[in-house]
Chains A and B, each alone.
Chain A
Amino acid sequence: MTTNTKTATRTRIARVSSTPQASTTPSRRKKITLWASAGLGILVVWQVGFTLFAPAYIATPIGAILAIPTVFADPIFFPDVASTLGAVFEGLLIAIVAGTIIGLAMGRLPDVNRVLGMYVGAFYAIPLIAIVPLFTVWFGYTPQARLAMIVLEAVLPIIYNVAEGSRIVSATYLDVTRIHRVAWWRVWTGVVLPNALPYVLAGLDLAIGRALIGAVVAEFVTAIDGLGTYILFNVHSFHQNEAVIALIVVVIFALVIRALINLAVRRGLPWYQPVKEA
């Protein structure tokens, strides 16, 4: 009996893991074709339309490609990239740690939620760009103002999602911990947090985009070295094609971070994938 069950389950596992690949290959090819042709279409419309109707200094796809050597040869470009992306990375790390702790406390302790919930909601609702001038007063025209902006932007969706994810722990899981007389902090780290992980990742997804917004906006206002300042400076000096390249670097950075997170999830959390597919 036992041998039969084992064989049956092994076959089932094999089938579960092989089916998606087999069935998605044709549809994925179709998806990529559609995606690529849509992108190409937009570029063609942009190129043709702007060449015909816009002044010469307006950015076009071909102009941007031709600007790549100039941008990469610019001695301030890579330090600017490193400055902005370094700050975004640092800010995201701070936001993940702080957001997870605050979110956990809000999700599990009704009193904390009553105290903080309203403020998190309020901060989430207001356009945080409005806060940058205040930050420049508090922190000066410094990288610290930018970092504060990045953290504030990124921490809110993480708090929101972690709080929600840790609120909805299955009652059975909590019963299991109570029956085994598990210490509260082990319940938080060992059950509530892993249970909230899908929510943490969803929050992180939002946080990456918001962190980049925070960084660029802070640079616009404070004019400290970075990609935002690079973009602003080039746009103001009729070098729009160069600005577009800097913009693309920001987009690629966001995509790479998201891809890295996806990879880490697939490698490190094998149990999470089927939950997502279901």
Chain B
Amino acid sequence: MPTVTEVEPMIHVDHLGKQYGERTVFSDISFDVNPGEIVSIVGPSGCGKTTLLRCVVGLMKPSHGTVLVSGTPVVDPPEGVAMVFQHFGLFPWKTIAANVAYGLTAKGVSMKDAAPRVHELIKLVGLEGFEKSYPYQLSGGMQQRAGLARALAVEPGVLVMDEPFAALDAQTRDILQLELLRIWGTRSAAMMFVTHSIDEAVLMGDRIVILRGRPSSIFDIVDVGIPHPRGRETVDTDRFRTVRDYVWRAVMHDEADDTPLPTDADAVRIEPQSHRNMNGHDHG
């Protein structure tokens, strides 16, 4: 697949590892995220998904390995990276419009100059009429819409999402997943999407990085292989079910359980060449 190898990845994670003292959280993690691609990160609770994400965007220093964003090694959070947080991280003393504009005003852009883009984004995420509201006046789902608008306001080349819908109720989560995919269609950044929900990982991701073990490492990277645009009906397709069942078993698989996973692995491969061959990585 020469076309794939020629694309320079937006995010290049190379043998990344993180230790807290004696305890190794994860080790030897390598994968790429290409422009316009969504890569979901799943794994059992406590496997270090969020830690991995924080290392990738430079909020945390990894113990081993390197991360390249747009070809540049990450030390501190680089330019052109935006993040959406599990608990929204909206400033309660700012209005929704001022929160959305934060990435711009914090760099010295005046609220007036930021206004056109802020207005466009508020419209895009469906928050029209709430520009002057404060976060406490909005439901959790609407606050996260604002969180997404704030991230998009800086026109990021890389967007990372740390369990963005985990704090929301099930219905709001369903709505926002599809909303995010719709909004995604209008942008072309590389996205890393950390979630503990396997359904969400399959619905959102073009590829899924499965973390497992203690310390965790990459168990497999799956090509979801469901074309965009995706919608509610996506979850009713055979392909969705196949991938979900495979990821589910991979994540839930107990080390003591001797269910042979390789058989399942074959089921999710779209064609003989897997992503590993495509990107030239070699994972255990």
Contact = CB atoms under 8 A, between A and B. Distances in A.
A47 B101 CA distance: 63
Contact of A179 (B57, B134, B138): B57
15 contacts: A2-B126, A5-B141, A9-B130, A9-B142, A12-B137, A12-B139, A13-B133, A172-B87, A177-B106, A179-B57, A179-B59, A197-B93, A271-B134, A271-B136, A275-B92
B93 A271 contact: yes
Interface residues of B, number: 33
B89 interface: yes
B79 A181 contact: yes
Given A2-B126, A274-B136, A175 B83 contact: yes
Nearest to A10: B129
Given A176-B85, A181-B107, 12 more contacts: A1-B175, A5-B139, A5-B141, A5-B142, A8-B139, A175-B89, A180-B77, A181-B76, A183-B106, A195-B93, A271-B92, A271-B93
A10 B4 CA distance: 48
Interface residues of A, number: 33
Contacts of A179: 57, 59, 77, 81-83
Contact of A175 (B59, B137, B139): B59
Given A271-B93, A274-B136, A180 B102 contact: yes
Contacts of B79: 181
Contacts of B134: 270-271
Chain B interface mostly = loop
Chain A interface mostly = helix
Contacts of A176: 83, 85, 89, 91, 102
Contacts of B59: 175, 178-179
A270 B154 CA distance: 28
Contact of A269 (B57, B93, B139, B175): B93
Interface string A158-182: 0000000000001011011111111
Nearest to B90: A176
A224 B238 CA distance: 90
Contacts of A6: 129-130
Interface in A190-249: 190-191, 194-195, 197
A186 interface: yes
A177 B99 CA distance: 12
B213 interface: no
Contacts of B85: 172, 175-176
Contacts of B126: 2, 5
